[in-house]
Structure 1
Amino acid sequence: MAAIQPSHQLIYQEVAGTAYGCDVYLPPSHQPGQLHPTILFVHGEGPAEILFDAKDWGQYVSWGQLAAASGFAGVTFTHRSSGWFQRLPDVEADLNACLAFLRDNATTCGLNLDQLVVWVCSGGTPAVVSTLLRNRPAGLRALIACYGRLALDPIAAQIDPPLPATALARYSANAALD
């Protein structure tokens, strides 16, 4: 599995002079023109100075490799920090920008985004799950939230400064399902 390296190391957007990237891991049997069901791995929350290279962390590299070894395209990407949930729209915008970039480059990258799985963990879940449930992107076949909060209401008192009720509702999976 360690022999599987990213096939593409791409910049999906630049914000305020900072480039944000994604890596595509393809199966060893990949042939030009072949499209693979795709798993997008989304990291959790943390300070910006820690998250800047999240797609390169060992766990994300190994998950991309595991997806590729299993016949999928694995995509890892880095998004901005939400600053302990204060800037959730930034994470939402980054997710949407990454998905748009992948759609625009799907054929070149070997991605079948009509068979898309999104896996998100930890503090990444409020923005990612609610956004995907609200937008229902074409091709989304599964959404996996690993040990993440599906609503911020239970920890609202711990978020400082407090989030307005509209933000608590926007980034709630339950509200997105209504």
Structure 2
Amino acid sequence: MKIKITLLLLLGFATQTIAQKSLEVVYKKVDSTLLTITIDYPPDYQPGRSYPTILFFFGGGWNSGSIAQFEPHARYFASRGMVCARADYRVKARQKTTPFESVADAKSAMRFLRQHADQLGIDEGRLIAAGGSAGGHLAAALAHLPGLDDPKDDLSISTAPQALILYNPVIDNGPEGYGYERVGERYTAFSPIHNLDTVSPPTLFFLGTEDKLIPVSTAKAYKKKVEAKGGRCDLHLYEGQPHGFFNYKNLEYFKDTVLKTDAFLQSLGYLEGKETLTQFLSER
């Protein structure tokens, strides 16, 4: 069962009614556009408890994309006892926007989850940002980019996640990177690899060695910079794999990346017990 509620109704929403359900909530309105977050809850969700949470952002070059991309990931990690949120955001094909609006929306989504953590069963101290390609850029932007906020946001609410899960992320937007033709000289404020000025949250980074958009050298440079600041960056390279290799349609690599993600989350204390991916897939 899926419940749809509006931002105006959220504050009066009874937490007890979201047990064992998927929740769709409007987190932002821009003109006539309503932006939503779809949230999946653990099957044994208990009202009044707070759960480690993953916020997913789909890929698509800030041009297109759908929250359906990370539906299998969200369902699996919800089955493992996490709250999993998938945020829609403005893209060029639907709203005629630029990548900068996409970043502003991602920040608004994270702030919304933090602002309503009690109502939504979210543990603010264990809030993870994840995404693929341009969605990976948005996840990293939450941790590393100090500006590009929506001016209507409450800027006192942090966008920084406690961990990052990045699937072939666009993390270099400089002259030699991806997206420079769209962001131009503003890349210095937009590109995560150019803004690694503080200690990064623990980061999991997946990349295929035949990715035509993100060179392996870029991933290695990112890892080196993160670790030079005292952070953790677990980089997993997949020989011969192209961009988007991790998606559900590529079941072998979907399974491998999910299992590595499960292990990463266990290492942070966000998950416990043996992975249950085989059982999950058999029940889909």
Question: How does 1:1-178 map onto structure 2 within 5 Å?
Answer: 6-46=21-61, 50-51=64-65, 54-55=66-67, 57=68, 59-81=69-91, 87-135=98-146, 137=158, 140-153=161-174, 154-155=176-177, 160=181, 163-165=183-185, 167-178=186-197
Task: Report deviation, 1:69.
Answer: 0.5
Contact 1:88 1:127 in 2 (8 A): no
Contact 2:117 2:123 in 1 (8 A): yes
> Which stretches of structure 1, 4 residues or longer, exceed 6 Å deviation after superposition?
none
| Counterpart code for 1:23 | T
Residues 108-132 of structure 1 show CA distances to partners (whole Å, capped at 9, x for unaligned) of: 1111121011111112333441342
Q: Larger % of strand: which?
A: 1
Contact 2:27 2:109 in 1 (8 A): yes
Q: Which moved more, 1:146-155 or 1:22-31?
A: 146-155
Task: Report deviation, 1:139.
Answer: 6.7
Measured in 2, the distance between the counterparts of 1:155 and 1:98 equals: 26
When the two structures are superposed, what TM-score results if normalisation uses the length of structure 1?
0.79
Larger radius of gyration: 2
Contact 2:20 2:44 in 1 (8 A): no
Measured in 2, the distance between the counterparts of 1:47 and 1:139 equals: 21
Contact 2:99 2:183 in 1 (8 A): no
Give unmatched runs, 5+ long, in structure 1: none
Task: Report deviation, 1:60.
Answer: 2.1
Aligned length: 165
| Counterpart code for 1:177 | L
When the two structures are superposed, what TM-score results if normalisation uses the length of structure 2?
0.52
Measured in 2, the distance between the counterparts of 1:95 and 1:14 equals: 13
Task: Report deviation, 1:19.
Answer: 0.7
RMSD, aligned α-carbons: 2.7
Other structure's SS at 1:140 match: coil
Measured in 1, the distance between the counterparts of 2:131 and 2:119 equals: 25
Measured in 2, the distance between the counterparts of 1:159 and 1:174 equals: 13
Contact 1:116 1:142 in 2 (8 A): yes
Contact 2:37 2:86 in 1 (8 A): yes
Structure-2 change in CA distance of 1:114 and 1:127 (3 Å):
same
Other structure's SS at 2:162 match: strand
Give unmatched runs, 5+ long, in structure 2: 1-18, 147-156, 198-284
Residues 56-107 of structure 1 show CA distances to partners (whole Å, capped at 9, x for unaligned) of: x2x4222221111111111111111157xx7122011101111121112211
Other structure's SS at 2:118 match: helix
